[in-house]
């Protein structure tokens, strides 16, 4: 949550900087940006940037609207997430690439021997090449960011799995069975979330029942493992120490088995 807050503080700050430039709207509207085949002023370009970031924000909120519905794990939300990253990177980097296109067009205009129609055509080709390059770079950065995001999240969940299962063992040995089981189930929850991420399934909820529901729906675990997990979450509050030991042992073995499968 903290990382999400920092990320959107940066985005809001960036948009606020652009909006603050509206105080110089009259001055900015006088600065023309000529691409050869088309021209616009800086004020118009800043408006397009603000519009792009607002579109990104609205698209980002869409998956959360469906996070508690049966459609939460649909492929379209994974695709939408990639699109959001792409649009954000595209609009973030576009000022630099637009300036490059304008700069190249200004150089072309210095050659007075080139016919005006040819200059227009060259300007169009240059802008097209710059646009395609911007799209490719944006797609590459967006994909890398998404991969890194999921990789980092996966590593964090893996760490939490181990920490909580070790704590569960320690608490059980100290005779704190209830606290031990709470940590064991937390470890299981983190592990199930990690398995879902590895399958590339989009989800927003941290509720155990919803996470377990996705595991069953997509048949990520065997029927035997699913039945064992169901037995654990149905344990009565007055469970025995043996039941706690068996539950913790199963969760630990499940984590180890998953690690061995990934290593293979």
- 116-173 helix and 241-263 helix, angle to the nearest 10 degrees: 150
Token duo for residue 177: 């069975």
pLDDT reported for residue 38 = 78
- Quote the pLDDT of residue 136: 94
DSSP helix/strand/coil, 236: coil
DSSP 200-250: T-------HHHHHHHHHHTT-S-HHHHHHHHHHHT--TT--HHHHHHHHHH
206-218 pLDDT, tens per residue? 788 888 888 888 8
Helix, strand or coil for residue 70?
coil
Q: What CATH homologous superfamily does 152-263 map to?
A: Nucleotidyltransferases  domain 2 (1.20.120.330)
DSSP 3-state of 39: strand
Rounded distance between C-alpha atoms, residue 158 and residue 162, angstroms: 7
Q: Could you report the per-residue pLDDT of 165-189, keeping only the tens digit for each?
A: 999 989 988 888 889 999 999 999 9
Residue 240 CB neighbour total at 10 angstroms = 11
Those residues whose C-beta lies under 8 Å from the C-beta of residue 89, and which sit 6 or more positions away, are 137, 138, 141, 142, 145
The structure tokens listed for 264 are 């293979």
Domain regions of the chain by residue span:
2-147, 152-263
Predicted TM-score (pTM) of the model is 0.71
């Amino acid at each position: 949550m903290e990382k999400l807050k920092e990320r959107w503080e940066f985005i809001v700050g960036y948009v606020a900087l652009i909006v603050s430039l509206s105080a110089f709207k009259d001055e900015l509207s006088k600065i023309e940006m000529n691409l050869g085949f088309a021209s616009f002023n800086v004020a118009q370009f800043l408006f397009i940037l603000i519009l792009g970031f607002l579109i990104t924000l609205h698209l980002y909120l869409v998956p959360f609207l469906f996070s508690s519905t049966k459609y939460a794990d649909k492929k379209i939300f994974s695709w939408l997430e990639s699109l959001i990253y792409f649009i954000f990177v595209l609009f973030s980097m576009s000022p630099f690439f637009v300036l490059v296109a304008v700069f190249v067009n200004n150089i072309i205009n210095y050659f007075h021997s080139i016919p005006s129609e040819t200059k227009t055509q060259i300007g169009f080709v240059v802008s097209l090449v710059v646009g395609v390059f911007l799209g490719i770079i944006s797609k590459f950065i967006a994909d890398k960011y998404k991969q890194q995001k999921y990789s980092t999240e996966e590593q964090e969940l893996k760490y939490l799995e181990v920490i909580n299962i070790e704590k569960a063992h320690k608490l059980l040995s100290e005779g704190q069975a209830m606290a031990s089981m709470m940590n064991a189930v937390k470890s299981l929850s983190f592990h199930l979330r990690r398995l879902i991420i590895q399958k590339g399934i989009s989800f927003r909820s941290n509720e155990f029942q919803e996470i377990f529901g996705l595991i069953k729906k997509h048949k990520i675990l065997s029927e035997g493992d699913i039945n064992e997990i169901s037995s654990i979450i149905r344990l009565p509050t007055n469970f025995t120490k043996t039941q706690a030991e068996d539950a913790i042992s199963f969760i630990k073995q499940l984590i180890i088995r998953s690690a061995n499968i990934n290593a293979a």
